[in-house]
């Protein structure tokens, strides 16, 4: 599933220009106030920018190893502070 999502993302990103994303989408996950734990989990799945993260649903994230409801809450809380939400199911 993750390989399929990543492949789809790469295909979309190859055709997308930088102007298609607002500046907040280009924030690197490492530069966010998210916990070290969250950053490590996302790094394992090659989620490196906020723009990558918001393309995933809650269900997608909960399938990640070591990512549970508390970690998901931290992610959604951070996204809310910058005016974003996860993709809808």
Are 9 and 52 a contacting pair, CB within 8 Å? yes
Consecutive 10-residue runs of the chain (89 residues): their mean pLDDT? Answer: 70 59 84 95 94 93 93 96 86
pTM of the model: 0.74
pLDDT of residue 64: 93
Domains assigned to the chain: 2-81 (1.10.150.20)
pLDDT given at position 68 = 94
Distances, alpha carbon 85 to alpha carbons 15, 34, 53, 77, in Å: 23, 15, 9, 9
């Amino acid at each position: 599933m993750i390989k399929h999502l990543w492949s789809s993302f790469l295909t979309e990103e190859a055709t997308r220009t930088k102007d298609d994303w607002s500046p907040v989408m280009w924030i690197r996950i490492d530069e966010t106030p998210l916990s070290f734990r969250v950053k490590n989990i996302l790094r394992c799945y090659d989620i490196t920018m906020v723009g990558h993260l918001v393309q995933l649903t809650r269900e997608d994230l909960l399938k990640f190893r070591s990512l549970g409801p508390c970690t998901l809450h931290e992610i959604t809380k951070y996204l809310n502070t910058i005016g974003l939400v996860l993709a809808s199911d």
